[in-house]
Amino acid sequence: MLFGLILLGVMLGLSVQSSHAKGMNCWVSVFPEKPTEFDKVGVVVNFLFYTDPPFVVDFGEVYRDDDTFSVNVTVHVPRKDEAVLQVVHNQSNAYALSRLEAGEYTFKVYVQTVHGSNEYWLEQEVKFTVSEEPAHTPEFPSNGYLLVLIALTSAAVILLKSSKKKPISLRRK
């Protein structure tokens, strides 16, 4: 029992640091991958943290200025003397941009930190293109294929009907 408590204390001591959290990754995905004017375009912003804190307090609203979209994300970071847990975790948010006209667009993610420090910077910038081309529609078979299909179906029906003739019954009198 005592050994278990000592082991637990050592493990907790190793998993808690008394330093500023340094690890944070951010990536942005546009969906669909190759949007057209007919698609409802969306963006997913994902943060991967290696300690807790930091964590996202507010993903914010999307602002649009012509062909540039931006969002201000507020992240709670620890103070320099604050203990942090070594816990890998992520937080993500999806933004609906709706249908867009054909053209080049940019989506920018700005980060503002609170609590341990007050900083503001551009974390990620993604450029994407909305094309005029509609999504490829499935092609119908040409007339030649359609005629062959009708001929094969007709032949199969005729063969099935001819093989289903009534058998001759032999009766004894």
Kindly state the average pLDDT of the residues 140-158.
Answer: 75
What DSSP letter does each residue of 22-57 carry, written as one string?
--EEEEEEEESSS-BTTS-EEEEEEEEESSBS-EEE
The first and second tokens of residue 154, run together, are 């007709």
Instruction: Find the angle CA(49)-CA(82)-CA(7) to the nearest 5 degrees.
Output: 80
Higher pLDDT, 12 or 132: 132
- DSSP code string of 97-113: EE---SEEEEEEEEEEE
Of residues 21 and 90, the one with the higher pLDDT is: 90
- Name the pairing type of β-strands 120-130 and 103-115: antiparallel
The pLDDT of residue 10 is 47
pLDDT in tens, 35-47: 999 999 999 999 9
Domain boundaries, the chain: 15-130
pLDDT tops 80 at residue 167: no
What pLDDT sits at residue 18?
34
Please name the amino acid found at residue 77: V
The answer to which of 67-76, 99-108, 158-167 has the lowest mean pLDDT is: 158-167
Radius of gyration of the chain (CA): 32
Low-confidence winner among 44-48, 92-96, 141-145 (lowest mean pLDDT)? 141-145
Residue pair 95/45 in contact (Cβ under 8 Å)? The answer is yes
Residue 100 pLDDT > 90, yes or no?
A: yes
